[in-house]
Amino acid sequence: MTALLRVDRLHAGYGKVEVLHGVSLVVPEGCMVAIVGPNGAGKTTLLSAIMGLLPRIGGHVLYCDEPAGSTEALVASGAVLVPERRALFADMSVEDNLLLGAYTRRRAGNRDTSASMRDVFTTFPRLEERRRQLAGTLSGGERQMLALGRALMARPRLLLLDEPSLGLAPMIVRAIFRVLADLRASGLSILLVEQNVRAALQVSDYGYVLEMGAIVTEGRSSDLANDARVIATYLGARR
Amino acid sequence: MQDGITTGAIYLLLAIGLLIVFSVTRVIFVPQGDLLAFGTLTAATLQSGQIPGTLWLLDGVSALALLISWHRAPLRTALTWGVYPFVLTMATLLLARFEHPAMSILLALAIVTPMGPLIWRFAFRPVADASVLALLIIAMALHFVLAGVGLVFFGPEEARAPAITESNFELGQLNVSGQSLCVLASCIILVAALRWFFGATIYGKALRATASDRLGARLVGIDAAATGALAFALASFIAALAGVLIGAVTPLSYDAGFDIGLKGFVAAIMGGLASFPLAAAGAVLVGVLESLGSFWASAYRDVIVFTLLIPVLAWLSLRAGSGEERA
Ligand SMILES: Nc1ncnc2c1ncn2[C@@H]1O[C@H](COP(=O)(O)OP(=O)(O)OP(=O)(O)O)[C@@H](O)[C@H]1O
Ligand SMILES: [Mg+2]
């Protein structure tokens, strides 16, 4: 299987403070890869550096076998991030948020994005009911649906998700994870960052454990879920 | 009163320009007033059959932009900063001697509008992530530079832009000047056009998205450099338009723009630097108060206008203190 995203000994941080100390990982085409780890491990930093939101101090990020460029260039070539704080356009309607998700496609001359909009509404019927409502007035679950929907409007090849279950009710978390599993089944590649380790290892193919800015363990998700150390640190407490 | 509404409409235009630039780029566009004066004086110079210095300024700075942006997007750069100034220069050289009012106005708009994007390109884009205060300091510095340039090109005298119409109407007991009506009509048309642009086009929505959430805008692939250029283009077009409109009612000198821009700023602040309808109400209020003020206390008219700011600022800072929900 070919690698869609390859991160090689990546160093990144904020100003002089280095947070990532040489992180390597691979997202093969059509796979869902999970990154788990404690608060402050550098998961968000890793996604930001991959997307070019933070300067990459050392190492390489290859997307489609080419060095990753600016955020805009990555988005235009199908690598789309749903950030931890969703970053919706709060004072714009749900429909406009979705429309702007397809911004790069519109710019590339593709004027008809209504088919993608229909797909998003089929996946999240709630968004269709709320299409004229301002994004800022949505509930937490609806906001996450809109953030995902907006990302899907770009017709991504690689979806990067930063804690999609953060702050959501268990029922909505289950619904979101079901959608992720469906997307994965339809051939989309996904890089998933999650604190909900159990759920993340259940839906993903492969997992990495990130601690203090370095990968400490990796393996097939089913193996990681049975790894004694992972169970003790991340799964034990929740039983 | 009639004057109050006319100048109020001009303040409204400037307030809108300031709001667009600030919400998209966080720059408080102080030199907008200078571009307004450029608009008046460029039109006035063309109307007297001469070639305005602003044209050569535009050519020079465009050439610089052409040089440094060439390697990135050759075709677009060549069109914007090569072909456009060239055609405009040729057109101006050919048409200036006809001294036709509408022609002078259109050429002035075409000369001043690209200065906004050029200012963005050279002064603000390289430091786009700086603090609002740092950006404001740059904007202030630019104001002094542009005012100096204005003095060199146009001299210290006041000049009048060509009027679109010289006619006058009797409206009951009022004597309404055609130019005042033109100012109002242009203002209404522009506001309607902007409403359509921001409400219905993908580029307008991209600007609103940038204003709403910077990170979100980057993550859907909106290019911050391009939205910034567009915001500045809108603002400088608005400034140039305001300049040719008000310049036909009151003659202006190279340094008159700053005061007018400041009043637009007061109106924008009244709208909380965020709300267009509130800024509109503020602009008309400033215009009317100022003309009433000049009627019975002309020495104090600026004092009256700026005193208005105090309650508004107090209210704004109270509100900001109580609700810091958007970090
Ligand atoms: N903007 C910032 N400036 C400086 N340091 C930061 C910044 N953001 C994060 N850090 C630091 O970088 C480290 C990693 O943070 P990061 O947000 O990447 O962790 P995370 O794994 O995503 O954590 P969480 O599970 O809480 O989201 C932390 O020590 C944090 O204090
Ligand atoms: Mg995080």
pLDDT digits (tens, 9 = 90+) for B269-298: 776 666 666 667 777 777 777 766 665 555
CA–CA separation, A214 and B14 (whole Å): 52
- Beginning with the edge strand found earlier in the chain, give each strand of the sheet holding A66-67 in spatial order: A17-28, A3-14, A56-63, A66-67
Q: Is the distance from CB of B212 to CB of A90 less than 8 angstroms?
A: yes
| Mean of pLDDT over chain B | 84
| Mean of pLDDT over chain A | 91
Residues A206-222: what's their mean pLDDT?
92
Alpha carbon B24 to its chain centroid, in Å, reads 15
The two tokens of residue B61 are 């700075």
Which of B47-61, B82-96, B155-169, B211-225 is predicted with the least confidence, judged by mean pLDDT? B155-169
- At A82-125, the pLDDT tens digits run 999 999 999 999 999 999 999 999 888 877 788 999 999 999 99
The two tokens of residue B64 are 């610089």
B69 vs A7, more confident: A7
pLDDT of B17 > 60? The answer is yes
The two tokens of residue A92 are 């714009």
CA–CA separation, A58 and A13 (whole Å): 10
Query: Which of A51, A92, A150 lies at the smallest CB-CB distance from B208?
Result: A92
- At B106-126, the pLDDT tens digits run 999 999 999 999 999 999 999
B293 vs B173, more confident: B173
CA–CA separation, A114 and A99 (whole Å): 9
Confidence of residue B315 (pLDDT cuts 50, 70, 90): low
Residue type, A58: G
- The ranges assigned to domains in chain B are 2-156+173-326
- The CB-side HSE value for A193 (13 A sphere, CA atoms) comes to 25
What pLDDT does B76 receive?
80
Residue A26, φ and ψ in degrees, nearest 5: -135, 135
What pLDDT does B327 receive?
33
CA–CA separation, B107 and B43 (whole Å): 7
CA-to-CA separations, A200 to A46, A140, A157, A160, A191, in angstroms, rounded: 17, 20, 20, 13, 11
The two tokens of residue B175 are 């004597």
What pLDDT does B273 receive?
60
Query: Which of B202, B212, B219 lies at the smallest CB-CB distance from A90?
Result: B212
B258 vs A190, more confident: A190
Residue B26, φ and ψ in degrees, nearest 5: 65, 15
Residues B64-92: what's their mean pLDDT?
85
What CATH number does the domain located at A3-78+157-235 have? 3.40.50.300
pLDDT of B301 > 80? The answer is no
Confidence of residue A206 (pLDDT cuts 50, 70, 90): very high
Residues 6+ apart with CB under 8 A from A22: A9, A10, A11, A58, A59, A214
A198 vs B281, more confident: A198
Cα-Cα end-to-end distance for chain B: 43
CA–CA separation, B230 and B249 (whole Å): 29
Q: Coil, strand, or helix at residue A56?
A: strand
B266 vs B33, more confident: B33
What pLDDT does B1 receive?
56
User: Atom 30, ligand 1: which residue's CA is nearest?
Assistant: A40
Which among A195, A84, A89, A194 has a CA at the least distance from the CA of A138? A89
The conformation of residue B144, written as its DSSP 8-state character, comes to: H
In chain B, which ranges are E strands? 168-171, 174-177
What pLDDT does B317 receive?
65
- The ranges assigned to domains in chain A are 3-78+157-235, 95-156
A43 Cα–ligand 1 center, Å: 8
What pLDDT does B324 receive?
41
The conformation of residue B299, written as its DSSP 8-state character, comes to: G
What pLDDT does B271 receive?
66
Our CA-based measurement puts residue A3 at a distance from the nearest CA of chain B, in whole angstroms, of: 23
pLDDT of B250 > 60? The answer is yes
Residues of chain B in contact with residue A83, where contact means CB-CB under 8 angstroms, are 215, 219
Size of interface A-B (CB pairs under 8 A): 66
The full DSSP string for B25-45 is H----TTHHHHHHHHHHHHHH
Mutate to test the pocket of ligand 1, among A23, A43, A46, A193 (most ligand atoms within 8 A of CB): A43
What pLDDT does A238 receive?
47
pLDDT of A239 > 50? The answer is no
pLDDT of B302 > 70? The answer is no
What pLDDT does B323 receive?
42
- At B42-76, the pLDDT tens digits run 999 999 888 999 999 999 999 898 888 887 777 88
Q: Coil, strand, or helix at residue B12?
A: helix
Residue B258, φ and ψ in degrees, nearest 5: -60, -45
Which among B249, B297, B286 has a CA at the least distance from the CA of B264? B286
B175 vs A151, more confident: A151
A130 Cα–ligand 2 center, Å: 28
What pLDDT does B159 receive?
86
Q: Is the distance from CB of A209 to CB of A230 less than 8 angstroms?
A: yes
Region of B31 please: left (phi>0), alpha (psi -120 to 50) or beta.
alpha
Residues B15-22: what's their mean pLDDT?
89
Residues of chain A in contact with residue B219, where contact means CB-CB under 8 angstroms, are 51, 71, 75, 80-83, 87
By percentage, how much of chain A surpasses pLDDT 90? Answer: 78
B144 vs A232, more confident: B144
Alpha carbon A116 to its chain centroid, in Å, reads 19
The conformation of residue A92, written as its DSSP 8-state character, comes to: S
CA–CA separation, B324 and A21 (whole Å): 34
Confidence of residue B319 (pLDDT cuts 50, 70, 90): low
Residues of chain B in contact with residue A154, where contact means CB-CB under 8 angstroms, are 220-221
What pLDDT does A102 receive?
94
A213 vs B313, more confident: A213
- At A52-90, the pLDDT tens digits run 999 999 999 999 999 998 999 999 999 999 999 999 999
Our CA-based measurement puts residue A174 at a distance from the nearest CA of chain B, in whole angstroms, of: 25
pLDDT of B132 > 90? The answer is no
User: Atom 26, ligand 1: which residue's CA is nearest?
Assistant: A39
Contact B208 A107 (CB under 8 A): no
Which among B96, B112, B114 has a CA at the least distance from the CA of B104? B96
CA-to-CA separations, B86 to A115, B55, B60, B102, in angstroms, rounded: 44, 10, 11, 21
Residues B10-17: what's their mean pLDDT?
88
Confidence of residue A186 (pLDDT cuts 50, 70, 90): very high
Q: Which helix (H) or strand (E) holds B116?
A: helix B115-119
pLDDT of B305 > 70? The answer is no
By percentage, how much of chain B surpasses pLDDT 70? Answer: 86
Residues of chain A in contact with residue B221, where contact means CB-CB under 8 angstroms, are 71-72, 75-76, 103-104, 107, 154
Residues A132-139: what's their mean pLDDT?
94
pLDDT of B246 > 80? The answer is yes
Strand-strand pairing, B168-171 and B174-177:
antiparallel
Residues 6+ apart with CB under 8 A from B251: B158, B159, B160
What pLDDT does B325 receive?
40
- List, as ranges, residues 146-205 from B with C-beta within 8 Å of A: 202, 205
What pLDDT does A100 receive?
96
